[in-house]
Homo-oligomer: A and B are copies of this chain.
Amino acid sequence: MNLFGRKSKQPDNQNRMNEELGKKGLRMTPQRLMIIAAIEKSDNHIGADEIYTQVVEKYPNVNISTVYRTLDVLEEMGMVTKTDLGGGRVQYHPAEKGHHHHLVCRECGKITDLDEAALSVLKETLLRHYNFVADLRHMGIWGYCAKCNRQVVKEA
C-alpha cells in the first residue's frame, strides 16, 4: 500500500518517523500513521483510549492492542513520552513538542507544570557519575503541593 500518495506530500514528521522506523527494520503502516497523527494533533497529553477512539472513527478495524503496541514502539524510539499523571490513565506526549515536567499532588491531584531546566542538573549528574542517559524529558513527580503540604514526607 502506498501510504503517502505521490512524493513530497508527507509532512516532515512522518518523513523522519519513516526513516527512524526503517533504521530498525520496522515499517510504517496505516495503523501507525493514524496513531501518530492522533498524538501529533493533541497539543497536550493524550491517553491510549483517546487515541483509540480517534483512530477507530476513520478505520474501525484497528484494535486497542495495536495502539498500545505502537505507543511502545514510539516510546522506545524516543518519539513520544509516557507519563503517569494520575487519573488512572497513562498520558502520552509528542517528544518534539517541548520537554516539561509536572508536580502531581497526592492529596488534591493538582498538577503544576515545571520547566525542563529543573531536571537538567540531575540529568547531568547521572550522566557524569553513572554514565547513565536518563530519559528525563517528561516526568511526573509526586508529592504534596503547598496547600496540602503535610508532614508525612518530612523524613525524606
Measured CB to CB, the residues of A under 8 A from B are 76-78, 95, 99, 103, 105-106, 112, 114, 118-119, 121-123, 125-126, 129-137, 141-146, 149-150, 152-153, 155-156
Contacts and interface: CB of A to CB of B under 8 A. Distances in A.
B143 A106 contact: no
Contacts of A155: 78, 95
For this chain, the copies found in one complex come to 2
Nearest to A123: B156
Contacts of A152: 76-78
B126 A153 contact: no
Contacts of A114: 126, 130
A119 B118 contact: no
B137 A153 contact: yes
A145 B118 contact: no
